[in-house]
């Protein structure tokens, strides 16, 4: 990157993880080198409207967007231009972006929808593509794919939210095959532990199902185990690197939204106090899982290490992991010898490399019909 790049940092979003995204964006801004990047801040509000302008992140954090301008990215190749929306709906060019750095967690940001827009706009962007984003985000699809690759998964049941709301007894019957409590109820497509509950009885289960059903049209219920929470960070495209593993000792019953972002009672152990064999197994499985979903750029891979048996289960892959000052993804890379600013540089390079790879593909067919 010999020339200064115009980088669009995208944050906020139409998701239950909107506020987490603002925290991640703040951390990324703090380490981006002003000699390398001209940073354009682009925020998406809860209604899905795009805004840009000086102090955009400050405005989003304050909840006052009146000083910002509405902008739009067209779903067609337009040379990377971001457009201003005028009152008469006319479009005016604002700035030409070289690369987009999405810091959007959850739905409409991490699930392949944004990636599809960026692909249609023919833009370079940081992170996983449409397929990997969608698969990793959908816990039902992801777990099924991991099983196909012989990567161990906790037993689970998938339920339709409509069934939960209209016939909760039927939903409870479907869950019985998981055995006794505790169980975990989760929206199928969300992260940051939003809508996730550990339940220890029938009434708790009903409440957990109802809450999860508010966030997604599908809900997943998992068998609960006494486990240690182990995580690694992955970086790369076709030949991913895997960091050392860390362990999270939650300050809550599990690593909940509150434990991740609101309290400071959780303990991060880096490196994780596990033996070399387990460390190697975690890193090997993480790399295999990343390649299985056709990952690109970055991912945090989460494991459960069962305390009674020592069995290792892959829990999930986050393709846009948290980038806050206390987030495991940058912390694990820092402990592995890659500081936060250099990590962001590497991610931009990987995003540009993936775009160059797409540009080499043929989009027309000149053979005989």
Q: What is the mean pLDDT of each run of 10 residues along the chain (369 residues)?
A: 87 92 96 96 97 96 96 96 87 96 94 97 98 94 95 94 92 90 88 79 93 91 94 97 96 56 74 97 98 98 96 96 91 97 98 97 77
- Please count the other Cβ atoms lying within 10 Å of the Cβ belonging to residue 189: 21
5-125 and 135-152+226-356: same fold?
Answer: no
> Rounded to 5 degrees, what angle do the CA atoms 344, 345, 350 make?
95
Task: Give the helix ranges, DSSP H, for the chain.
Answer: 18-31, 56-62, 113-120, 130-137, 139-148, 161-166, 168-175, 202-213, 257, 276-292, 328-335, 340-359
The closest of 316, 95, 76, 291 to 184, measured between CA atoms, is: 316
Residue 277 has what pLDDT?
97
Domain edges within the chain: 5-125, 135-152+226-356, 156-223
Alpha-carbon torsion angle 357, 363, 366, 369, nearest 10:
130
Cis peptide before 182 (omega within 30 of 0): yes
CB 222 within 8 A of CB 186: yes
Residue 238 has what pLDDT?
94
- Please count the other Cβ atoms lying within 10 Å of the Cβ belonging to residue 100: 25
pTM assigned to the model: 0.90
Q: Which listed CATH number (3.30.465.10, 1.10.150.20, 3.50.50.60, 3.30.470.20) goes with 135-152+226-356?
A: 3.30.470.20
CB 11 within 8 A of CB 26: no
CB 114 within 8 A of CB 104: yes
CB 126 within 8 A of CB 99: yes
The closest of 329, 319, 326 to 110, measured between CA atoms, is: 319
CB 15 within 8 A of CB 111: no
Q: What's the CATH fold of domain 5-125? A: Rossmann fold (3.40.50)
Query: Is the domain defined by 156-223 classed in CATH 3.30.1490.20?
Result: yes
Residue 15 has what pLDDT?
87
> What's the number of CA atoms in the CB half-sphere (13 Å) around residue 197?
19
Residue 306 has what pLDDT?
96
> What's the number of CA atoms in the CB half-sphere (13 Å) around residue 280?
3
How far is the C-alpha of 25 from the C-alpha of 9, rounded, in Å?
7
Task: Give the helix ranges, DSSP H, for 50-137.
Answer: 56-62, 113-120, 130-137
How far is the C-alpha of 180 from the C-alpha of 335, rounded, in Å?
39
Residue 259 has what pLDDT?
52
3-state helix, strand, coil in the chain (%, to 5): 35, 25, 40
Residue 368 has what pLDDT?
62
Stretch (H or E) spanning 220:
strand 218-223
How far is the C-alpha of 75 from the C-alpha of 53, rounded, in Å?
21
């Amino acid at each position: 990157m010999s020339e200064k790049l115009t980088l669009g940092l995208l944050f906020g979003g139409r998701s239950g993880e909107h506020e987490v995204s603002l925290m991640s964006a703040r951390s990324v801004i703090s380490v981006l080198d002003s000699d390398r990047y001209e940073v354009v801040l682009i925020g998406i509000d809860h209604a899905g409207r795009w805004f840009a302008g000086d102090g955009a992140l400050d405005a989003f954090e304050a909840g006052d967007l009146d000083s910002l301008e509405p902008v739009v990215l067209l779903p067609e190749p337009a040379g990377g231009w971001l457009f201003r929306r005028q009152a008469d709906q006319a479009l005016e060019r604002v700035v030409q972006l070289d690369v987009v750095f999405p810091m959007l967690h959850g739905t409409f940001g991490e699930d392949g929808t944004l990636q599809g827009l960026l692909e249609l706009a023919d833009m370079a962007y940081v992170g996983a593509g449409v397929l990997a984003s969608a698969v990793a985000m959908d816990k039902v699809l992801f777990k099924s794919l991991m099983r196909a690759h012989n990567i161990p998964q906790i037993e689970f049941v998938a339920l339709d939210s409509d069934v939960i709301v209209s016939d909760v007894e039927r939903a409870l019957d479907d869950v019985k095959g998981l055995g006794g409590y505790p169980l975990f109820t989760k929206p199928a497509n969300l992260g940051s532990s939003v809508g996730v509950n550990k339940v220890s009885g029938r009434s708790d289960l009903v409440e957990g199902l109802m809450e999860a059903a508010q966030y997604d049209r599908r809900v997943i219920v998992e068998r609960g185990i006494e486990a240690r929470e182990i995580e690694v960070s992955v970086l790369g495209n076709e030949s991913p690197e895997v960091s050392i593993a860390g362990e999270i000792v939650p300050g809550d019953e599990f690593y909940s939204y509150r434990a991740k972002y609101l309290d400071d009672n959780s303990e991060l152990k880096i490196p994780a106090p596990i033996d070399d064999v387990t460390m190697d197994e975690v890193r090997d499985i993480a790399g295999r899982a990343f390649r299985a979903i056709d990952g690109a750029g970055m991912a945090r891979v989460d494991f459960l290490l069962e305390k009674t048996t020592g069995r290792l289960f892959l829990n999930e892959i986050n393709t846009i992991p948290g980038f806050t000052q206390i987030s495991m993804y940058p912390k694990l890379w820092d402990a592995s010898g890659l500081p936060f600013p250099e990590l962001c540089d590497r991610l931009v390079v990987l995003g540009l490399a993936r775009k160059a790879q797409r540009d080499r593909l043929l989009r027309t067919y000149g053979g005989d019909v």
